[in-house]
Amino acid sequence: MRNGETHMMDLTESLRRILRSVEPSQEEKEGAQRSHRYLRDILVTGNMESIIREHFLSGSYPRATAIRPLDDVDIIFVVDPGHWKTPSGGALPDPSAVLQTFKRALEWRYPETELRVQRRSIRLQMWHLNVDVVPAVSADGRGSERLLIPDAENDGWIRSAPKIHGALSTEINQRQGGLFKPLVKLLKTWNLGASEDLRLKSFCVETIAARLFASARLRSLQTGLVQFFDFVCYIGGGPCEYPWGDDRGMSLRLGNCVVPDTAECTNVAVSVTRQGRECFLRRAAASREWILQAEQARTWNEAERKIEQAFGSHLRELGW
């Protein structure tokens, strides 16, 4: 457990500078807004108008946890599954058939834009933005809080709940005095310090933070960083500073990487490799110590050197 120190450097301004350097620009935000609004308006026309029941944004952009570059936006289109024939004995249509319907509709409306059918969506590759169009059906037939989205690779449907993720993120942020979402942006920036092949998905990092700070008190950005890194060490089976006593339903132990999303739909750590896990735990332990050392620094220059060591040299590339 951390002891009270007689001297602790306030790192808030340095961390806020990092946040300013990774905040999507107004131009990026306006470009994304124009593109997704136009696409949503133009797609809900013609034959698609009777198929689409509802549409809304998903992902870090609407949750206000996105960092630069703002180069992708997800749009969920909740559809009437009765439009497609269902396989014999099945209650839902073939996921590939649903994706192909959306592909044809988008090709008609965007004849000069490159399209790619992905496992769970159709990607439009625009000059400034990638837009992922994600078809979905209501999981209970009544609303759009809990959905099923296509998984063409496994010829099935998987559970998802983006509205619940967004609502819980906002609730945690409000309860934590507006500190949670900025902390998530800092953690995503920190996550970029790992090589791409070892890096955890940003949604996995955000989910660990959400499950932790749904109950843990978040007093400041700098203590939040130490708490997160320390908790990661705890659920990974390593030594920690805080007496956690509760893993919040998560594990990063070897052979048992489990991070349920906040709606308890799926394990968002299912794709974490052994090497990725080791890198994540190693960096968390080291970064915890660098932030603690930054708090004990005697000068701003020394503190900022420690912060850069905690986050990684890529901070300079981000314009920090």
Same domain, 179 and 291: yes
Q: Is residue 152 part of a domain?
A: yes
Query: So what's the pLDDT on residue 86?
Result: 86
Domain termination residue (choose one: 121, 143, 160): 160
Separation of first and last alpha carbons in the chain? 32
Q: Is residue 4 part of a domain?
A: no
Same domain, 112 and 185: no
Domain hosting residue 197, numbered range: 12-23+165-317
Mean pLDDT by 10 residues, the chain (320 residues): 64 98 95 96 98 98 96 97 84 95 98 96 94 97 93 95 98 99 99 97 99 98 99 98 98 98 98 98 99 97 97 88
CATH of the domain at 67: 3.30.460.90
The whole-angstrom separation of Cα 310 and Cα 313 is: 9
CA atoms 88, 90, 96, 98: torsion sign: positive
Query: So what's the pLDDT on residue 89?
Result: 67
Q: How many domains does the chain have?
A: 2
Same domain, 174 and 186: yes
Same domain, 47 and 111: yes
For residue 267, what are the β-bridge partners?
260
Domain termination residue (choose one: 160, 182, 201): 160
Same domain, 174 and 305: yes
Q: Is residue 140 part of a domain?
A: yes
Same domain, 196 and 259: yes
Same domain, 41 and 87: yes
Q: What is the pTM of this model?
A: 0.95
Same domain, 276 and 217: yes
Q: Is residue 5 part of a domain?
A: no
Same domain, 257 and 286: yes
Domain termination residue (choose one: 160, 181, 202): 160
Query: So what's the pLDDT on residue 285?
Result: 99
Query: So what's the pLDDT on residue 1?
Result: 44
Q: Is residue 93 part of a domain?
A: yes
